[in-house]
Structure 1
Amino acid sequence: MEKNLFREVYKQVCGLALKDCPPSSLSGLLHGYLSVYSMVRVYPWLEDEYGSLWDIHDRIREIARVIQELLKDKDIPVDTRAGYVVDLMDAYLLYSDMKFLDVALDTAYEILIPKGSDKIVLPCRTPNICRLLCNCYYFTGEEECGLLAKNLVTEALGASRKFSCEDLYDWWGGICFYEDVVGVVELSEEEQVRLNEEQIRLLSSVEQKEDLKLESFQQIGQNVDIGLLVAVFYILAKREFEGLNKMCRQIY
């Protein structure tokens, strides 16, 4: 069911002009394509369904360039700007364009270090800032960034039961990002246990929220909003890749 829906959504997304895509949806679009790229790279026979690696790669570069332009606007909210920086860093990991990384790191430290200071000061305590710190730690090895990201994750775990549904969904991405980039090695044994317990609890809520989006998309039909289309694309691309990996592990 979801596989057929994903194919349908992918066709729609491939025909989407970036100028018609709201800035708030660019991150989901980028990461959906990153999942598709990973699928085709790991399982080359999928090129027949999703296109060549080069075509997907080119689409990711196109999206990254739009995000790079958005970063020039210093008047956008700092949390939004931090999200764009992380998106550009994620695109760099695939595309390896040093201009992307240079712009992203310059903007990251512009966000984190107030003018005239040489110390990191968090402008807000959000999932995007957490992701920003994780990537700064990854690319520069600066331990303070890893420590600050750990503190944000610990705070989020402590407050997770009070989160709204939207906050819960956003922080789930931030927490998973921390685990992937910085790793649980930075956490104490007690914090690692807590992280594992909370992830099990949060996963169910996150999947329910995603399922609701899929249901809404299918009910609306042809006149779907671009934001919802992109959100569904990101969810299905991620699930499709996870499903393929799980199936292959069972086979081998």
Structure 2
Amino acid sequence: MEKNLFREVYKQVCGLALKDCPPSSLSGLLHGYLSVYSMVRVYPWLEDEYGSLWDIHDRIREIARVLQELLKDKDIPVDTRAGYAVDLMDAYLLYSDIKFLDVALDTAYEILIPKGSDKMVLPCRTPNICRLLCNCYYYTGETESGYLAGDLVIEVIGVLKEIDRKKLLAWWKAICLYNDVVGIVTSSSREWGYRKEDCNRLYVDIEQVEDERVEFFQQMRRDCGICLVVEVFDILARREFMMYNEGCNI
């Protein structure tokens, strides 16, 4: 059932013109395509269903170029700008245009280091800022950004029950990125063990929230907006790739 739904949603997003996509939908669109690209790269026969690697690659490049343009506007909210910078870095992992990385890192340091200072200061304590810190650590090896990201993760895990369910999804992505990119490098092994246990318990809640979003999409269908379509695309693409990795569809 979910597989058929994913195929339907994938056809829908492939037909979207980027100029018609709200900026707030670009992150989900990008990461959905990154999941599809990874899936087709590992299992080449899936090109028959999802198109060639080159076509998917080209779509990701298109999104990255839009993000690069959006970052030129320094008047947008700092959290939004941080999200665009992180997404551009994520696109760079696949489409290795050094200009993308340069623009994203320049933006990151504009956000994190006030003029006249050489020390990082968090402008807000959000999932996007946490992701930005993780990516700065990944690309530059700057340990301060890794420690600051760890502080945010510890802080948010302590108040998970108080977080709005939709924001919970955004924090989950930030926590997963921290686990993958920074993790034990900036934590004691004991502290890391506690955190991993909390994250494992959180995963059950995350799946439930995602299921609710998918169910809501199915109920709305023709009446839902682009943002919901893209959100469900991101969820289902990631799940589909995970299923192939686990050998469920082979």
Q: TM-score range by the shorter chain?
A: over 0.9
- How far apart are residue 196 of structure 1 and its match? 1.7
Query: Which one-letter code corresponds to 1:70 in the other structure?
Result: L
Q: Say which is worse superposed, 105-114 or 213-222, in terms of deviation.
A: 213-222
Equivalents in 1 of 2:214, 2:158: separation in Å? 30
Q: Which amino acid aligns with 1:199?
A: C
Preserved CA contact (<8 Å) 2:10 2:233: yes
Counterpart residue number, 1:73: 73
* Inter-partner Cα distance in structure 2 for 1:20 and 1:134: 30
Q: Distance in 1 between matches of 2:160 and 2:191?
A: 14
- For 2:20, the equivalent position in structure 1 comes to 20
Cα distance in 2, alignment partners of residues 51 and 64 from structure 1: 19
Q: Displacement, 1:184?
A: 2.7
Q: Within the alignment, does 1:155 sit opposite 2:155 as a pair?
A: yes
The equivalent residue for 2:186 is 186
Letter aligned with residue 57 of structure 2: H
User: 1:6: Cα distance to partner?
Assistant: 0.4
- How far has the Cα of 1:115 moved from its partner? 1.2
Q: CA 1:142–1:185 in structure 2 vs 1: closer, same or farther (change >3 Å)?
A: closer
**Which stretch shifts more, 137-146 or 184-193?**
184-193
Q: Distance in 1 between matches of 2:185 and 2:108?
A: 24
How much has 1:205 moved relative to structure 2?
1.2
Aligned to 2:139: 139
- Alpha-carbon offset, residue 189 of structure 1: 2.4
Structure 1 position 48, deviation (Å): 0.4
Deviation digits for residues 225-251 of structure 1, max 9, x if unmatched?
Answer: 111100010000000000100116x98
Residues 162 and 190 (structure 1 numbering): CA distance in 2 closer, same or farther, change over 3 Å?
Answer: farther
2:92 alignment partner in structure 1: 92
Matches within 5 A, 1:1-252: 1-247=1-247
TM-score, length of structure 1 as denominator length = 0.96
Query: Structure 1: which 5+ residue stretches go unaligned?
Result: none
Question: Aligned partner of 1:183: which letter?
Answer: G
Could you list the runs of 4 or more consecutive aligned residues of structure 1 that deviate by over 6 angstroms after TM superposition?
none
Once the two structures are overlaid, the 10-residue window that deviates more, 236-245 or 159-168, is: 159-168
Opposite residue 52 of structure 1, the aligned amino acid is: S
Answer yes or no: is the 8 Å Cα contact 2:32–2:234 preserved in 1: yes
TM-score, L = length of structure 2:
0.97
Using the TM superposition, give the Cα deviation of residue 116 of structure 1 relative to its aligned residue in structure 2, in angstroms. Answer: 1.6
CA offset digits 1:176-220 (Å, max 9, x no partner): 010111133422223222212211221111111111111111112
Q: How many residues align?
A: 250
Q: Distance in 2 between matches of 1:184 and 1:30?
A: 28
CA contact (8 A) 1:26 1:63 kept: yes
Which AA in structure 2 matches 1:162?
E
For residue 221 of structure 1, report the CA deviation from its aligned partner.
2.1
Distance 1:171 1:74 in 2: 24
Instruction: Indicate conservation of the 8 Å contact 1:168/1:202, yes or no.
Output: no
Residue type at the aligned position of 1:59: R
Q: Give how far 1:118 is off.
A: 1.5
Cα separation, 2, equivalents of 1:180 and 1:119:
25
Q: 1: CA distance between counterparts of 2:138 and 2:6? A: 32
Query: Alignment partner of 1:222: what SS?
Result: helix
The separation in 2 between residues aligned to 1:203 and 1:48, in whole angstroms, is 32
Offset of residue 166 of structure 1: 2.3
